[in-house]
Amino acid sequence: MGRLDAALADLRALDELAARDNPLTRIDPRAKLVAVLAFVVVVVSYERHAVAALLPLAVFPLVLAVLGEVPAGPLLRKLAVAAPFAVMVGLFNPWLERTPVVVFGSLTLAAGWWSFASILLRFALTVGTALVLVASTGMVPLCAALARLGVPRIFTVQLLLLYRYAFVLGAEAARLATARRLRSAGRRPALNSYGPLLGQLLLRAFQRAQRIHEAMGARGFDGELRSLRTLRWQPRDTVFVVGWCSAFVVLRAVDLPQWLGGTLLACCR
């Protein structure tokens, strides 16, 4: 299996995980979405050099992953794919912020290293939580929840179609890659061969999009998202949202690592 096929299989596995019956999948998608949005707001609200203060917030995605029975392998692979973007955002911080903040003997750490670590930690927390949300909900219920929460229909429909068409485009690219590999006897392609390959992929994608549009029109698609699952808000959903949002407020108001460190130092004295 090629790398593209493996990536598509991992992406498809998220929808398969959402079909399981576990404590997290029983929660209303709107409740999970509201809790995740509150979590993201809290994570980004910390000052740019915060590292230790963000660590207790890792409890949220870890608990969700355990309750949703989400395996660590696919999540870590997807985080690794997106990690270079986060690295590029803060890559030059250690050279732009040279103010020393921590000294260990002869080793001095500048403020830029802390802001760089904070960017990577925020990335892992927010993206990891988003992946767990998709794996425990599925894109169709998630888009339906967005629509019920008042997000414009054009956005939710486009988001769902973009997600679904990623598989179509990926399958076309995988077929092109397989055909090229068979015709070249396994030799690496020359640099000038990528242009025709991308052009062929664009033509195939355009033709496939036309056929999909005609098929959707023939089936009566009118731009409205419809799902077999009916969203019903229950008391456990209220407990889920209120409980986690309260925990976020407490963790944001109290620097737990600093408080624990001060308590331990006071006990040692």
Tell me the pTM: 0.81
Q: Which pLDDT belongs to residue 266?
A: 75
Compute φ and ψ for 100, nearest 5 degrees: -70, 135
Taking the CB of residue 198, how many other CB atoms lie within 10 A of it?
Answer: 12
Give the structural domain span for 160. Answer: 3-268
Q: Does the pLDDT of residue 60 top 80, yes or no?
A: yes
Confidence of residue 245 (pLDDT cuts 50, 70, 90): very high
Which has the minimum average pLDDT: 56-70, 115-129, 142-156, 189-203?
189-203
Q: Which pLDDT belongs to residue 259?
A: 77
Q: Does the pLDDT of residue 1 top 60, yes or no?
A: no
pLDDT, tens digit (0-9, with 9 covering 90-100), for 108-124:
677 778 888 889 999 99
Confidence of residue 41 (pLDDT cuts 50, 70, 90): very high
pLDDT, tens digit (0-9, with 9 covering 90-100), for 173-194:
777 777 777 777 666 766 666 7
Percent of the chain residues past pLDDT 90, beyond the cut: 19
Length of the chain: 269
Q: Which pLDDT belongs to residue 239?
A: 94
The mean predicted confidence, pLDDT, of the chain is 81
pLDDT, tens digit (0-9, with 9 covering 90-100), for 154-178:
888 888 888 878 777 777 777 777 7
Q: Does the pLDDT of residue 79 top 80, yes or no?
A: yes
Q: Which pLDDT belongs to residue 227?
A: 66
Average pLDDT over residues 64-83: 85
- Asked if residue 144 lies in contact with residue 227, where contact means CB atoms within 8 angstroms, the answer is yes
Q: Which pLDDT belongs to residue 260?
A: 79
Instruction: Work out how many domains the chain is built from and give that number.
Output: 1
Q: Which pLDDT belongs to residue 35?
A: 94
